[in-house]
Chain A
Amino acid sequence: MFKTFCAIVGRDLTLAFRRQSDVLSTLFFFVIVVSLFPLGIGPEFETLRLIAPGIVWVAALLASMLALEQLFAVDHTDGTLEQMLLTPHPLSLLVIGKVFAHWLVTGLPLVLITPLLGLQYDLPIEALGVLIVSLLLGTPVLSLIGAIGAALTLGLRGGGVLVSLLVLPLTIPVLIFGTGAVEATTSGLGAEGHLSMLAAILLLALFFAPLATALALRISSE
């Protein structure tokens, strides 16, 4: 079973490596959106520090929506999705593999670039640390929930917009606890509560989202 998981992750990472433009466009989108705000607002550190977590999180949300379209669309067009539906392994396992690979190439780079972007907002080190941990816990949730939307809208015209409409409302808890964690740190309350909540959401999503995605994939590919 683990072998299958590795096979699908390996395949998708190879594909992403050969088609770097898809990966880089998500990352650059994130960098540009986050960098536009300090330019628009001006060097008012108080304001910037206040809005930083919200902006980084919203930008991460939008960037992950942007990347979602690619998750199953190519597999659907070239017929590999049909073959995935016919493998002798649980489909949700393959879905976890695909989502994990997807997160590695679209979610993780955002987390890694955030310390650099945080400098523009004059974030204190501990707040920056919490922001990164919250992103690390939260971005996989975005990919997992997004996968359901991507699977449901497979093969529809204008699916990209529809995915965002379907998925963005569902990501509100992640946004609230993600930004809340940073605010709690700056106000001295400590971020443990928010981060535990995020971790709990991640575990829930890890369990239920692949099942829902697998079901949606079977329906969409009929």
Chain B
Amino acid sequence: MLEAKNLECTRGDHRLFSDLSLDLSPGEVLHVQGRNGTGKSTLLRTLCGLFTPSKGEVSWNGMAISALREIFHKEVLYIGHKPGIKDDLTALENLRAASLLDGDSVSKEQLWQALEKMGLRGFEDLPSKHLSQGQRRRVALARLLVSKARLWVLDEPFSALDSAAVAVLQTVIGSHIHSDGMVVLTTHQEVTLTQATSKQLRLGTGEEEDV
């Protein structure tokens, strides 16, 4: 399980949040909310180890993630604002490169299926620079379908997606939760995740509440 204790993050001289604690057990979703600039993205980056907090620490199964590093990285999948896909590679190549780097051995069929499920049928062999914003997003999100990570950290996963893709993504997140996965996400949209224990964290006020 993921745990954070007394986190404090600063950007320059500006303190984004302090004394923030949270925990997340298998089968739970943490929905981070807050106005722009309250540190949602920074919190997510801190939780997966991309950003070092000025105080406090994040731990995974009781061990600090800074000490675990590669072991923890096996368990976490982060999709941030930048989609992390290469303009000159096709959707299929991007997905394959990403899953190879993640250390997952994924068959070609699985890659095709993942792309098809994300509604990219017919676009697999097109260089990603010719894809639309939403389609690039879908390529990035297709990684969720081939990844074996237990903790998903998703920064605004629903942005730029059409309603069909939003529905698909909600099902994907739902089934991940159902199989004892963990999800941390930020979004400004109303999301209905069925059959999931959802925790809300509102930044700016710093309260954690169960819903």
Contacts and interface: CB of A to CB of B under 8 A. Distances in A.
Interface of A: 3-4, 7-8, 11, 14-15, 18-19, 77-80, 82-90, 94, 221-222
Given A88-B71, A221-B50, A222-B51, A82 B101 contact: no
B99 to A, nearest CB: 9
B58 interface: no
A14 B93 contact: yes
19 contacts: A4-B101, A4-B103, A7-B97, A14-B88, A18-B88, A77-B82, A78-B84, A79-B80, A79-B81, A80-B85, A83-B84, A85-B50, A86-B50, A86-B76, A88-B70, A88-B73, A88-B74, A88-B103, A90-B70
Contacts of B98: 83
Contacts of A85: 50
Nearest to B48: A86
A7 B94 CA distance: 11
A77 B81 CA distance: 11
Interface in B44-67: 45, 48-52
Contacts of B73: 86-88
Given A14-B89, A87-B102, 4 more contacts: A18-B127, A86-B78, A221-B50, A222-B51
Contacts of B74: 88
Interface of B is mostly: loop
Contacts, number: 76
Chain B interface bracket (under 10, 10 to 19, 20 to 34, 35 or more): 20 to 34
A75 to B, nearest CB: 9
Sort A-B residue pairs by CB-CB distance and give the 8 closest, nearest first: A79-B82, A79-B84, A7-B100, A88-B74, A18-B88, A88-B73, A83-B84, A11-B97
A14 B92 CA distance: 13
A87 B101 contact: yes
A87 B82 contact: no
A3 B101 CA distance: 9
Contacts of B102: 87-88
Contacts of A86: 48-50, 73, 76-78
A83 B127 CA distance: 20
B50 A15 contact: no
Contacts of A80: 84-86
A15 B82 CA distance: 19
Nearest to B101: A87
A78 B101 contact: no
A71 to B, nearest CB: 15
Contact of A15 (B51, B83, B84, B86): B86
B207 interface: no
